[in-house]
Amino acid sequence: MSPVRTFIITRPVADSGRFMEAVRAAGHAVLASPLLEIRFNEGAEIPARPWQAVAMTSANGARAIAAHPARESLIRALAVTVGPASTKAAKAAGFARVLQAKGDVKALISTVLERLSPQDGPILYASGAITRGDLQGELAVSGFDVARVVLYEAVQAMELSQPVRAHLAAGKGATVALYSPRSAKVWGRLAAEAGLADAACAMTYACLSQNVARALREALPRARDILIPATPDEAALLRMLGLG
């Protein structure tokens, strides 16, 4: 029987279920310390236009639309999603037509360029307050009319959760899953503020992408055990960890 390992999930609560279920199904322990809290802007003004598509670089874009007063009109458009999680959220929001890209913003931009036409109407970018990449700008170069509307923001946590602080303080090992450059920076800062930077540097890290790993190295320069999946998606990360 393989030894029980401990995993720390840092995603917002709404996004952490798949990881936590996979860890528990494999017989391991999981601790949660959400580093970002998602807040929806239900009052954001969305122009009434004949949208051919709604682009979402996160499942939170779909969740924000599900909570927005303009939902009924928006779900008639094609949802262009960044990966499986945002596809699931788009369908839950009511979108009947979904076009899924392969895992990141660059892939979503490529999918739009390959599958859609500027002549078929404008694209709504259901955005967060902080974005990665320039989806709006890159598509505009190819003639697309893209309107970015900020529908949600990710607010940083003020401290690590008590169970995670206690685990680090006890010098116990764990694998920390980090999904974004911003969360990697927040993790490093909060660990340092708690006086636990040394313990944090001794952890194993499962970073969703090279960009996440780069941010982690900047936040915790002495962190050495850093794993990166072959592709930037949760399924690949889980497989890398022997959980999928």
pLDDT band at 1 (very low <50, low <70, confident <90, very high): low
Phi, psi of 24 (to 5 degrees): -65, -35
Same-domain check for residues 16 and 75: no
Can you give the pTM of this predicted structure? 0.80
Interatomic CA distance for residues 27 and 238, integer angstroms: 14
Half-sphere exposure of 3 (CA within 13 A, CB side): 5
> What average pLDDT does the chain have?
95
Same-domain check for residues 128 and 176: no
CA distances from 217 to 15, 192, 235 (A): 24, 14, 23
Which CATH number characterizes residue 234's domain?
3.40.50
Interatomic CA distance for residues 129 and 101, integer angstroms: 21
In a domain, 1, yes or no: no
- Of the chain, the percentage scoring pLDDT greater than 70 comes to 99
- The answer to whether residues 100 and 83 touch, using CB atoms and an 8 Å cutoff, is yes
User: Can you give the pLDDT at residue 130?
Assistant: 85
Tokens of 186: 């927040």
Interatomic CA distance for residues 193 and 176, integer angstroms: 18
Residue 15 pLDDT greater than 80, yes or no: yes
Same-domain check for residues 42 and 31: no
Task: Find the largest Cα–Cα distance for the chain.
Answer: 60
Same-domain check for residues 47 and 132: yes
Phi, psi of 100 (to 5 degrees): -100, 130
Number of domains in the chain: 2
Which CATH number characterizes residue 58's domain?
3.40.50.10090
Neighbours of 41 (CB within 10 A): 16
Question: Is 17 buried (19+), middle (13-18) or exposed (0-12) by CB count in 10 A?
Answer: exposed
User: Can you give the pLDDT at residue 192?
Assistant: 97
User: Can you give the pLDDT at residue 178?
Assistant: 98
Same-domain check for residues 51 and 139: yes
**What is the arithmetic mean of pLDDT over 139-144?**
96
- Of the chain, the percentage scoring pLDDT greater than 90 comes to 89
Residue 232 pLDDT greater than 90, yes or no: no
User: Can you give the pLDDT at residue 244?
Assistant: 79
Same-domain check for residues 185 and 99: no
Domain residues for 62?
38-155
pLDDT, one tens digit per residue, over 176-229 is: 999 999 999 999 999 999 999 999 999 999 999 999 999 999 999 999 999 999
